[in-house]
Amino acid sequence: MRASAGRDSLYVVRLLVVEDEPRLGAALKRGLTAEGMLVDLATDGPEGLEAARHGEYDAVVLDVMLPGMSGYNVVRTLRTEENWVPVLMLSAKDGEYDQADGLDYGADDYLTKPFSFVVLLARLRALVRRNLPARPAILASGGVTLDPATHQVEVAGTPVALTPREYALLEYFLRHPGRVVSKTELLDNVWDATEDADPNAVEVYVGYLRRKVGREVLLTVRGAGYRLRP
């Protein structure tokens, strides 16, 4: 995931905060917004439930003691409706419920008030990260990058258009860096088994690929195959 970390940081986290104490609600909204998140604030149970149902949130920060409907009932209702948005509950230490009750109702994590903003932020980040759609890492070698998610290929930062076959070849090389790949191996892995192809076809396509990504990127290992430039 290291190569895609930069992309994750560009991902804007959308949060719903359900908190009826005006000062705490405002402070949370301000603090989380300052962290680059998009924050909606709801101030009672039913409003929070409606927002969680219809908003596309990455996580919900949910107070337990709320007017109209408790946080426990909000999270329980969401889970019965098969809404799995990550929920972090804020429980009061002297509340009538045990702190961990929220987990039984379907919350993912909880914090006891009063809590530190830094801790809240860390727990929220962990919660959101767990639920981010998996992004395949960008493959890179010798100035060539290939993004399996977007099929974008760049050479020294400039996008290059490849045919599907050239793309598949390059991806195979990038997934096997530092070792010699034989023509037979390429035929087995890049060409369809039903295709009538021979080692000459591999040579032809490696030639096409070299013209686009740079001759020096793919080294010929005489009698053995090809190797990606280290």
Contact 74, 105 (CB under 8 A): no
Helix H or strand E encompassing 174: helix 164-175
Size of the site for Ca ion (CB under 5 A): 3
d(CA 39, CA 16): 6
Q: What is the CA radius of gyration of the chain?
A: 26
Q: What angle do CA 103, 75, 35 make, to 5 degrees?
A: 85
State which residue, 84 or 115, has the beta carbon closest to Ca ion. Answer: 115
Least separation in angstroms between CB 19 and Ca ion: 6
Task: Say if residues 19 and 60 touch (Cβ distance below 8 Å).
Answer: no
Q: How far is the CB of 29 from Ca ion (least distance, A)?
A: 15
CB of 163 to Ca ion, least distance (A): 60
In angstroms, the CA 129 to CA 8 distance is 9
CB 63 within 8 A of CB 90: yes
Shortest gap between Cβ of 26 and Ca ion (angstroms)? 14
Cβ-closest residue to Ca ion? 65
Restricted to residues 12-41, the positions that interact with Ca ion (CB under 5 A) are 20
How distant is the alpha carbon of residue 199 from its chain centre? 39
Q: Does 89 bind Ca ion (CB under 5 A)?
A: no
d(CA 20, CA 34): 21
Contact range with Ca ion by CB under 5 A, out of 2-10, 57-65, 103-111, 155-163: 57-65
For the bound state, the minimum distance from the C-beta of residue 21 to Ca ion, rounded and expressed in Å, comes to 6
Q: Of the two residues 21 and 154, which places its CB atom closer to Ca ion in the complex?
A: 21
Minimum distance between the CB of residue 88 and Ca ion, rounded to whole angstroms? 15
Among residues 45, 52, 58, 63, the one that binds Ca ion under rule CB under 5 A: 63
Closest to Ca ion by CB, 20 vs 109, is 20
Residue selected from 16, 65, 160, 174 as contacting Ca ion according to rule CB under 5 A: 65
* Cα–Cα nearest to 71, from 55, 52, 84, 94: 52
Considering beta carbons, is residue 65 or 139 the nearer one to Ca ion?
65
Q: Which residues bind Ca ion (CB under 5 A)?
A: 20, 63, 65
